[in-house]
């Protein structure tokens, strides 16, 4: 006897969000959290306390214009580094914020890799490709100079 469980409303919403994020090809860490939540519905999703540096971090995470991604990531990194410097000088902050800073930097590294891949694809698509079916294809053939 096969037992099937119908997804809950939350699981359906999470699946929809995962599908949307897949189609955007972004936000790996968010997709991972949703996937983990689907695998273990009893797992809690922690809602962090808001920190000043999070605004720029969220702006980078939610940016959909790849041409602006590098700038957003750099701004977020700068804000995070400033906060880390303050924490190292006054030993303030909470363990949760310190963990959030580390996690945010990991997320930004993933965004940087995605942005670099996008830029490489753009550069590759800008290179003219020869039309192998035309008579002028010989003009595109590389020649060896002696």
| Number of domains forming the structure of the chain | 2
Q: Inform me whether the pLDDT recorded for 111 exceeds 70.
A: yes
Tell whether 84 and 121 lie within a shared domain.
yes
Q: What is the pLDDT of residue 135?
A: 54
Tell whether 93 and 110 lie within a shared domain.
yes
**Using CB atoms within 10 A of its CB, is residue 85 exposed (0-12), middle (13-18) or buried (19+)?**
exposed
Domain assignment present for residue 134? The answer is no
Domain assignment present for residue 76? The answer is yes
What does R_g of the chain's alpha carbons equal in angstroms? 23
Domain assignment present for residue 24? The answer is yes
Q: What is the pLDDT of residue 40?
A: 64
Higher pLDDT, 50 or 7: 50
* Average pLDDT rounded to a whole number, residues 35-52: 64
Domain assignment present for residue 63? The answer is yes
Q: Inform me whether the pLDDT recorded for 21 exceeds 60.
A: no
Picking from 66, 77, 75, the residue whose alpha carbon sits closest to that of residue 106 is 77
| Contact criterion met (CB below 8 Å) for 51 and 28 | no
Q: For residue range 114-142, what is the model confidence (pLDDT) as tens digits?
A: 988 998 998 888 877 666 665 554 555 55
Query: Within its chain, how far is the Cα of 49 from the centroid?
Result: 21
Q: What is the pLDDT of residue 35?
A: 62
Residue 49 CB-half CA count within 13 A: 10
Q: What is the pLDDT of residue 134?
A: 55
Q: What is the pLDDT of residue 14?
A: 59
* Average pLDDT rounded to a whole number, residues 75-84: 96
Q: What is the pLDDT of residue 107?
A: 92
Domain assignment present for residue 20? The answer is yes
Domain assignment present for residue 87? The answer is yes
Tell whether 31 and 92 lie within a shared domain.
no
Tell whether 65 and 23 lie within a shared domain.
no
Query: Within its chain, how far is the Cα of 126 from the centroid?
Result: 24
Average pLDDT of every residue of the chain = 75
Tell whether 35 and 98 lie within a shared domain.
no
Tell whether 66 and 32 lie within a shared domain.
no
**Using CB atoms within 10 A of its CB, is residue 69 exposed (0-12), middle (13-18) or buried (19+)?**
buried
Of 91-100, 103-112, 119-128, give the range with the top mean pLDDT: 103-112
Domain assignment present for residue 140? The answer is no
Residue 49 DSSP one-character state? P
Q: Which domain holds residue 36?
A: 9-45
Q: What is the pLDDT of residue 108?
A: 94
Q: What is the pLDDT of residue 91?
A: 78
Q: Which residue reads 């035309």 in tokens?
A: 134
């Amino acid at each position: 006897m096969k037992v099937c469980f119908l997804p809950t409303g939350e699981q359906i919403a999470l699946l929809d969000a995962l599908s949307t994020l897949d189609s955007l090809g972004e936000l790996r860490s968010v997709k991972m959290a949703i996937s983990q939540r689907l695998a273990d519905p009893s797992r809690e999703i922690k809602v962090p306390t808001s920190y000043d540096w999070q605004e720029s971090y969220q702006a980078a995470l939610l940016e959909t214009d790849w041409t602006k991604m590098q700038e957003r990531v750099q701004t977020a990194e700068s804000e995070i580094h400033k906060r880390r410097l303050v924490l190292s000088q006054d030993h303030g902050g909470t363990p949760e914020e310190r963990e959030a800073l580390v996690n945010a930097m990991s997320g930004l590294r993933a965004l940087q890799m995605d942005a670099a891949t996008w830029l490489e694809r753009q550069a590759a698509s800008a290179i003219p490709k020869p039309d192998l079916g035309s008579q002028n294809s010989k003009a595109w053939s590389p020649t060896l100079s002696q």
